[in-house]
Structure formats: structure tokens, C-alpha cells
Amino acid sequence: MSISVAIAGVTGYAGAELLRLLVAHPAYASGELTIGALAAGSSAGQQLGELLPHLPEFGDRVVVETSAETLGGHDVVFLALPHGHSAALAHELDAEVSIIDCAADFRLRSAAEWEKYYGSPHAGSWVYGLPEMPGHRDAISQTGRVAVPGCFPTGATMALMPAVHAGLIQPNINVVSITGVSGAGKKASVGMLGAETMSNVRAYNTAGKHRHTPEIKQNLGEFIAADIQLSFTPVLAPMPRGILTTATAPLAAGVDAVQARATYEDFYADETFVTVLPEGYQPQTKSVVGSNGVQVQVEVNEDAGLLLVTSAIDNLTKGTAGGAVQCMNLMHGFPETAGLPVAGLAP
């Protein structure tokens, strides 16, 4: 059996990363996976060699327009489109087509939260595509519609999930995530110009305004009945890729460093893509660049009575395209790790 795959938004950072990963997928090498329509908006009609020179195998492929007609007929469609553009297109595709949405359109279950943060009508919710969350792996494998997590929620959820699940902390959480500029996509923006970002670090969408805030709360809320108080601060750093997340929260009564470490090691013991680092080692973005890996460190600040968890991911791989391919593997019976590198690039 073979499957055909299409990508909408292939010339964006997430779409290009999807194509890079799919080319390295063993099912592509064996012929079990074929890559069909490669679609985009304003770049339709151009050759991919002009736009994605790092993927020479597809240099002579012409980008097609993004429509139900060009994407229909494939077994899997990846939607790597701006937020708010996936829903209408998804509803035009046949139910037999597996759709994996890398945008936010179907992530949030709350219509009120969607409308508050995105300012448009809520399109509904799909299975949330973070396999490492308890119960989600089975749900992903049994559905034809998956919403891939946002990059910040991936880093924050992977950092905090074991602690919330085990009751190690009180639900008053502070998260700071430092991100590379590719997280903003390719759209033209003065704030993303090299002259604005080089040798500069700045916070943005602070004090609860970032759209990923309700998504992080939704994820952690699966493991606790109490309301979660969350402060999320994203910080833009002058690097192409990567997210370093630090999360702190007050310890629950009686929790110590030994218990915290054992909890994290047990929780992630069977997760191929997650490494709980030995004591004394810190996650760093350069160690996960180009990989689907997650590095995690857990510590207890006894003087402050806080749990400190740090995680590092590549925002384009585990944070978007790698997570999407991981979901495709589960949905179509491939080994979950197929085509997904665990090792990062160094130097």
C-alpha cells in the first residue's frame, strides 16, 4: 500500500520543513509514499528551485495554486497556511482525505477563547496532535483530522506536563520562551528585518496577549481540575531556529528534587524524542536544530520553593513540521519515528 501526500503552503518555513522531512522518509525511498501537489499562494507558477534551493530534488517542480482541486485526490494533505485560512479549505476536501493542519484553526476547544485571541468565528476542534500527551497517541492513530500544536505550546507542554500530571506544583505557572525569528514566518515585517533583530533581544505580546496562551492552558488543564494561572512571555532572539523555554511554579507540599527528577524520568522513559538530561546539563537550542528531539531539565530551587523546568526544541521541526510528520506516521501505520531525526546538528 502507498499513500500520496500534498503540502499547502510549501514555500513557507513550515511547509519547506515538511518537504525536507518527507524526502528523508523511508517510505518515500521505498515508494510507499509519493509527494504530489506542492501548493502555495503568491508563489504559484514558480519553480521550487527558485524558492527552496536547499531541496534540489524538487527544483524543477512548479508550485501550484492552493485549492481543493489541486489538493483533492491525495491521501494526506498538510496545511501549512496562515492562521484562519485552513478551515474553509479543509471543509472542501473529502472526508477520506487525512488532513494535518499546522495552523491554529482547530487547536482550541473553546469558541470564546478562539474568538478572543483570533478575532474570527470558531471553526471547531480536531484531535490535538501531540503524541506525548497521555491518550493522544491513540486518538491520533484513529482519526483523519489532526491539529498540530503551536511551537510555544509544544515546548511549554513538554516542560510542564509531567509536573502537572503528577501534582508536583501549584497551578500558578510562569513561562518564558526565547524563540528564533523563523517562528514569525516569511511574511514581510519591519520588526523581522535583519537590522531590527540582529544583536537584539526583545519580549513581545506580553502580559497574556500571545495567542498561544490559551493553548498552553488547555493542554495543562487536561491533567488538573483547578484553574491554571499562567503568565506566558515570548522573547525574540537573533537566531533562525529554536525555542528555549523556562517554566517555574511553586512546589506542592512535600515535593523534593529527588521526586521531581524521578517523575520526569518515569514519564518520558518510553518517549524516543524526549531526553531528560542528567543533572548539571542544560538544554540548548543548538543541540536540537534540525531534529524532532526535545531536551528537558528539571530542578528544584529549594530557597524559593519553586520547580524549574527548562526545555529546548526546534520550532520548525518538533514545534511544527516534525510533529506533523509524527502524526502522519501514526495515522497511516508507519513507525512513529520514521523520517524524523533524533540527533541535532553540530556545530
Cβ atoms of 301 and 308 within 8 Å: the answer is yes
Same domain, 214 and 141: no
Per DSSP bridges, beta strands 64-65 and 33-40 are: parallel
Count of domains observed in the chain? 2
- What value does the mean pLDDT take over residues 3-18? 95
Q: Which helix (H) or strand (E) holds 243?
A: strand 243-250
Does the pLDDT of residue 185 top 70, yes or no?
no
Same domain, 267 and 186: yes
C-alpha cell at 309: 523546568
Same domain, 209 and 295: yes
Residue 339 DSSP one-character state: T
Same domain, 157 and 295: yes
Span 270-302, pLDDT tens digits: 999 999 999 999 999 999 999 999 999 999 999
Same domain, 160 and 301: yes
Active site residues: 151
Report the distance separating Cα 197 and Cα 189, nearest Å: 11
Residue 289 DSSP one-character state: T
Q: Which amino acid is at 53?
A: P
User: Which CATH number does the domain housing residue 267 bear?
Assistant: 3.30.360.10
Q: What is the pLDDT of residue 40?
A: 92
Mean pLDDT of the chain: 93
Does the pLDDT of residue 50 top 70, yes or no?
yes
Same domain, 161 and 302: yes
- What value does the mean pLDDT take over residues 311-324? 97
Q: What is the pLDDT of residue 186?
A: 63
Residue 3: Cβ within 10 Å count: 18
Span 159-172, pLDDT tens digits: 999 999 999 999 99
Span 123-159, pLDDT tens digits: 999 999 999 999 999 999 999 999 999 999 999 999 9
Give the pLDDT band (50/70/90) at residue 201.
confident
Report the distance separating Cα 162 and Cα 139, nearest Å: 20
User: Residue 96's domain spans which residues?
Assistant: 3-147+320-332
Same domain, 242 and 100: no
Same domain, 36 and 116: yes
Domain annotation covers residue 339: no
Give the pLDDT band (50/70/90) at residue 83.
confident
C-alpha cell at 306: 519553586
Q: What is the pLDDT of residue 195?
A: 72
Q: Which amino acid is at 201?
A: V
User: Which CATH number does the domain housing residue 102 bear?
Assistant: 3.40.50.720
Please name the residues in contact with 168: beta carbons below 8 A apart, sequence gap of 6 or more. 162, 251, 252, 255, 259, 260, 263, 307
Span 211-264, pLDDT tens digits: 999 999 999 999 998 899 999 999 999 888 999 999 999 999 999 999 999 999
- Phi then psi for residue 49, to 5 deg, are -60, -30
C-alpha cell at 286: 543548538
